[in-house]
Amino acid sequence: MNIKSIIVDDEPKSRRNLRDLLTEYCKQVEIIGEAASAPEALKLLQQTQPDLLFLDIEMPGGSGFDLLKSLNDQFFEVIFVTAFDKYGIQAVKFCAIDYILKPIDIFELSKAVEKASTQINRKKENQRLAELVANIDRADEEKRLALPLSEKIEFVVIKHIIRMEADGNYTRIFIEGNKEYMVCKTLKEYHEILEAYGFLRTHQSHLINCQKISAYVKSDGGYILMEGGDNVPISRQKREEVLKRIL
Query: Tell me: the pLDDT tens digits for 148-206?
Result: 776 677 888 999 999 999 988 789 999 998 999 998 888 988 898 888 889 999 999 99
Model confidence pLDDT, tens digit, residues 135-160: 666 666 678 888 877 667 788 899 99
What element of type H or E holds 189? helix 187-194
CA atoms of 46 and 29, how far apart (whole Å):
20
pLDDT for residue 89: 58
- Rounded to a whole number of angstroms, the CA Rg of the chain reads 24
CATH 2.40.50.1020 residue window(s) in the chain: 140-246
State the burial class of residue 113 (Cβ atoms within 10 Å of its Cβ: 0-12, 13-18, 19+).
buried
- 3-state SS assignment for residue 64: helix
CATH 3.40.50.2300 residue window(s) in the chain: 3-124
140-246 folds as: OB fold (Dihydrolipoamide Acetyltransferase, E2P) (2.40.50)
pLDDT for residue 86: 74
Percent helix, strand, coil in the chain, to 5, is 40, 30, 30
Q: Which residues of the chain have pLDDT under 70?
A: 1, 88-95, 125-141, 150-151
pLDDT for residue 186: 86
pLDDT for residue 142: 76
Count of C-beta atoms within a 10 Å radius of residue 80: 25
CATH number of the 3-124 domain = 3.40.50.2300
